[in-house]
Structure 1
Amino acid sequence: MLRSPITALARTAPRFARGYAKVAPIAVSRATSTGSRAAGTIKTDQGLELKTDLQKELGGKGAHHNPEELFGAGYATCFLSAMGATHGSLHKDAKPLPKDATVEALVTVGKDAEEKIPGFLLAVELKVHAAPLKQIGLSDAQIHKLVEESHKVCPYSRATSGNIEVKLSVV
């Protein structure tokens, strides 16, 4: 028997009410997707307009953007911002993060390797580039601590915690 969306929402609301904080909005961003993942358009209020396409591995042409790429862009940028804030609190007298500080996100779409969960799943690897951080005097140990502490405060990391596999690496 199928449940109506309202019934499903009502049954999950108490779990969310117990486990999640209510957000007091500071800023809201909008992205609108029309069409389909395979042949659609994404628009933002700031004028960004992107065409979407399936990756070649999923049967598409791979000629345009895809949700995983956009999620990765958001996650990498957010994580870099968290690193800047965390660096400032860990090293109050240190130079700020350099302009070429880099976080690369590899977002994988796939199936559960153990076949216990149906449908598609995501996994993310965040690669923090060490060279720019070493240029401001951070040691390997300090870089690793920065990455670990940033993961605790990054909003994307908090949103994905316990939901998808996230691997952190320093390269």
Structure 2
Amino acid sequence: MTSTILYTGKTHTTGGREGQSRSDDGRLDVKLSTPGSAGAGTNPEQLFGAGWSACFIGAMTHAARASKIALPAGTAVSAEIGLGNGESGYFLQAHLTVSLPGLDRDVAQSLIDAAHQTCPYSKATRGNIDVAITLA
């Protein structure tokens, strides 16, 4: 089976959690700050949650099209990316809350399950971090 890279996002970050991150095309230019600090910027956990949420909606859209179902206009995913510290060091955990207003719960859950199997973020984190996905 051959693979094709569809897109490569390129960023350059300086200063770590108290720095700046920019994309090569200039579309992303954000200040970074430590989670919970009074810093003016965002943090990697928020960026990861935003990326995963957007990707997950795309995966649900794909699953819905395959099932000839229209996603409701109010479709949304809220992500909570937790940064923790334990005996083995720092770790991440995630909780996605999916809103598919107006869809039958069984249909909505089947779209969520399908999306979690195909979403690249879900695949990348599978078996690596604790993930919970809830239908709102």
TM-score by length of 2: 0.91
For the Cα contact (< 8 Å) 2:74–2:99, is it kept in 1?
no
Name the SS for the 1:142 alignment partner.
Answer: helix
Counterpart contact for 2:116–2:122, Cα < 8 Å: yes
- Partner of residue 49, structure 1: 29
Q: Contact between 2:45 and 2:81, CA under 8 Å: does it hold in 1?
A: yes
Compare the two structures and name the one with the higher strand fraction: 2
Structure 1 runs of 4+ with >3 Å offset: none
Structure 1 residue 161 corresponds to structure 2 residue 126: yes
Residue in 2 that maps onto 1:121: 91
Deviations 1:121-145 (A, max 9, x none): 00011110132xx1xxx21111111
Unaligned runs of 5+ in 1: 1-20
For these two proteins, the number of residue pairs brought into alignment is: 135
User: 3-state DSSP class of the match of 1:26?
Assistant: coil
User: Larger relative contact order (C-alpha < 8 A, sep ≥ 6)?
Assistant: 2
1:123 counterpart SS class:
strand
Amino acid in structure 1 at the alignment position of 2:59: A
Please identify the structure whose Cα radius of gyration is greater.
1
Question: SS of 1:76's equivalent?
Answer: helix
Say yes or no: does 1:86 pair with 2:63.
Answer: yes
User: Aligned AA for 1:101?
Assistant: T
Q: 1:22–1:35: structure 2 CA closer, same or farther, 3 Å change rule?
A: farther
Q: Is the 8 A contact 2:74 2:100 kept in 1?
A: no
- Do 2:11 and 2:24's aligned partners in 1 also have CA atoms closer than 8 Å? yes
Q: Which amino acid aligns with 1:45?
A: D
| Counterpart check, 1:71 vs 2:52 | no
- In the alignment, the residues of structure 1 paired with residue 29 and residue 94 of structure 2 have an alpha-carbon distance, to the nearest angstrom, of 25
Gaps of 5+ in 2: none
What amino acid does structure 2 have at the position aligned with 1:159? A
Q: Name the counterpart of 2:81.
A: 107
Q: Secondary structure at the match of 1:28?
A: coil
Higher helix fraction (1 or 2): 1
CA–CA separation in structure 2 for the residues paired with 1:129 and 1:169: 9
Deviations 1:137-167 (A, max 9, x none): x211111111011100000000001000110
Q: How far is the alpha carbon of 1:103 from its aligned partner?
A: 0.7
